Amino acid sequence: MQLHDNHTPVRTKPWDFGLVSTAEIGELEKEYVLRVLDKKRVFRYSGSDNELSEAYQLEKLYSDRLGVQYCLGVNAGTSALVVALIGAGIGPGDEVIVPAYTYIATAAAVLIARAVPVIVDVDDTLTMDPQALEAAITPYTKAVIPVHMRGVPCQMDEIMAVATKHKLIVIEDVAQANGGSYKGKALGSIGNAGCFSFQQYKLVTAGEGGMLVTNDPSINARAMIYHDSAFVYWDMNKMAETVPFAGENYRLSELNAALALAQSQRIDSLVSRLQKVKSVIVDGIKDIAQIQLQRIPDPQGDLSYSLVFYLDTLEQSEQFSKLLVKEGIPNGTINNNGFADRHIFKNWKYVMEKQGASENDTPWNCQSYKGNVQYSQDMCPQTIDWLNRAIAINLHQNMTDEDCNDVIEAIRKVAATL
């Protein structure tokens, strides 16, 4: 590898790869969207033949991919979490454990289901710490939502063992890990339910959209009722034995389904390309003594669109990050986004301050809740410590060997200054 002069940036050309998902939009997406318009069926339930529905075809694709019996397309990843919680019977008086590092929507879904989120630490995987999970369980804990953060699979063996021991429902948040796996099992198929997102920043996009997957017929039946306020009264309803209740309207449109259907057919090849990129970079930096690579519970199941490593201190990570930018490699730390990162628990303002839509009736103060969950800015010190020292570099499937070598060389060059 050729080394540059210390006064010359390693990389001088732009880093302009764009989003992983939208970079893949091409003729297939156009074909599928135009097919919807040609059929003039933009609402999935407007025809008697379900198999002509794009949403139905998308659900079938995920059922086959994941090896699960039931799939339900919805209008957002958050909606998928909500219908999963409602489907599992979670509601007022219940506590649901979530990690301290995840998008705010994970905690918001718990609140929408009228349950109380309990926030626990992540470890050096930047996913839920199984020991922190078990320590947070109370008589009111009914479920846990492990989040496969930044494409990295959670420690599902340990989490499932804790959940089984304490009879907890496990709802996997796979919003950031569509296409990932853990010890040969597709993420989303391990717990009682899995929830996916097709929002634009995800690996597979439809602009907006989501998917609930499960093998539990009761969760599926209740979720279908909740995702459509009139579902129980439609002729095609197969859940006649399920007691009806009021639902929302979280239905997935045919246009969004068509986009997700086209994109989802590329998942395996996309993940394979990303894994090759990350593997090259990791091999080039794993011997650097000054950094610690993020621990990946199952490297073969990592989506590999994110490279994370740690420095010894916050001050070192901030300095390292600035020097990397000078070398032409964009990166992220806990503090350099220019705004409060809503993936970090301390920035979930309405959760931390227990603010509900109504001051008089919130999940925390409703009569059904007998617990006493408290939140504070310093409640998850382990999470803040890892994030303080973390540097993240977003990877892209279109990165060349030259691009990978630029990343390797820049990291090695900066590390040599420590």
Instruction: Report the mean per-residue pLDDT for the chain.
Output: 94
What pLDDT score does 51 carry?
A: 83
Number of C-beta neighbours around residue 203 at 10 A: 28
Distance (Å, whole) CA 170 – CA 228:
24
Q: Class assignment of domain 27-266?
A: alpha beta
Asked if pLDDT for residue 234 goes beyond 80, the answer is no
Asked if pLDDT for residue 75 goes beyond 60, the answer is yes
What pLDDT score does 198 carry?
A: 98
pLDDT digits over 348-392, tens only?
A: 999 999 999 998 899 999 999 999 999 999 999 999 999 999 999
Q: Compute the 3-state secondary structure of the chain and give helix, strand, coil in percent, each to the nearest 5.
A: 40, 15, 45
What are the CA-CA distances from residue 237 to residues 50, 80, 240, 244, 416 (Å)? 12, 19, 7, 11, 64
pLDDT digits over 113-148, tens only?
A: 999 999 999 999 999 999 999 999 999 999 999 999
Which amino acid type is present at position 305? Y
What pLDDT score does 1 carry?
A: 38
Query: Residue 309: helix, strand or coil by DSSP?
Result: strand
The stretch 13-24 carries a mean pLDDT of 95
Helix axes 54-66, 27-39, angle to 10 degrees: 130
What pLDDT score does 260 carry?
A: 98
Asked if pLDDT for residue 3 goes beyond 60, the answer is no
Which amino acid type is present at position 310? Y
The stretch 45-68 carries a mean pLDDT of 92
Q: Catalytic: 202?
A: yes
Query: Residue 328: helix, strand or coil by DSSP?
Result: coil
What pLDDT score does 2 carry?
A: 44
Q: Which of 39, 40, 165, 202 is catalytic?
A: 202
User: Percentage of the chain surpassing pLDDT 90?
Assistant: 90
More confident residue, 233 or 136: 136
The stretch 192-217 carries a mean pLDDT of 97
What pLDDT score does 334 carry?
A: 84
Closest CA to 173 of 273, 106, 237, 232: 106
